Structure 1
Amino acid sequence: MSTPIPASTRYYRRGVTKVLWVPTIANKQTPSRAELAAGTSLEAETGAMDGWQTTSETVPTPALGSRFTSVVGGEITADDSSLTFWASKNGEDVRTLLVREASGFVVWMDEGDVPTQTMDVYPVTVTSQAKVREMDNAAQIMCQFAITSEPAENVTIPALTGP
């Protein structure tokens, strides 16, 4: 009999997931605690998110000697991604932080900022700050991002520092 996959400890994302804007990370595969601490926590003002996942294409590899066409892994891509924030009536909100053409990293700690758990590090450039204008909803700002190189996925969250 085969071994079953371990049972997951399921969770509700809101109140758990942390998302950071980090201006500088020397090595996206091994961000330091100091680099993460220099970032800005975004989850308290995040009202929606879209994208933030990679996909892999396949490439057909036909052979004359077979009618079956096998495939191999091909391009890895990431769709355009966005974060939508609550707008402030006085204008002091995400617009002062995530300005168009700012480059940095969006870091996702899906299970929270827990050392030894994993995070995903997305190198990005802010491409727009769109004001979401709707009649019956609270005002929001949607920041769109270009993912500029392959994200570092499932990177270990570093230990906390200090007392």
Structure 2
Amino acid sequence: MTTFIGKPVTLVGPQLRVGDKAPDFVLMANDLTLKSLNDFGKKCKIISVVPSIDTGICDAQTRRFNEELAGTDNLVVITVSADLPFAQARWCGAAGLDGVITLSDYYDHAFGKAYGLLMREWNLLARAVFVLNENNEIVYVEYLDNVNEHPDYDAALAVAKNL
């Protein structure tokens, strides 16, 4: 069972597993352009999913993955939330993190449904981390049972750094 602020939530969509091909997506970037998984090419990817960029754990999660993997040529960190692109852009500016890639699933929640992360009761995304290889195959996944906890940064980073 998954909880958010101490209450059970219903996650819409299937939970993905190691070995699955990551579903493609179309999400909105801060500049209001649409981005798909294929736009990131053959790079390995960390998809860091957060409920809202403006909260303490989500802020820490976004910073940690981006700071630890800065300058890694073959890897891209993608932060996904249901926040409006304007809020994501404001957060990036206030945080002084210009190179952070934030994508928004606010419009139709198709990403949340495809990745099994849409919290029906809140229309927000549950917290999760996916590490994809260059072929967009999932090599690491963590769905958090308690959305209000930090992910296992060390485990995800160890996998990502070894790709």
Task: Give the TM-score taking structure 1 as reference length.
Answer: 0.29
Name the structure, 1 or 2, with higher relative contact order (CA <8 Å, separation 6+): 2
Task: Give the TM-score taking structure 2 as reference length.
Answer: 0.29
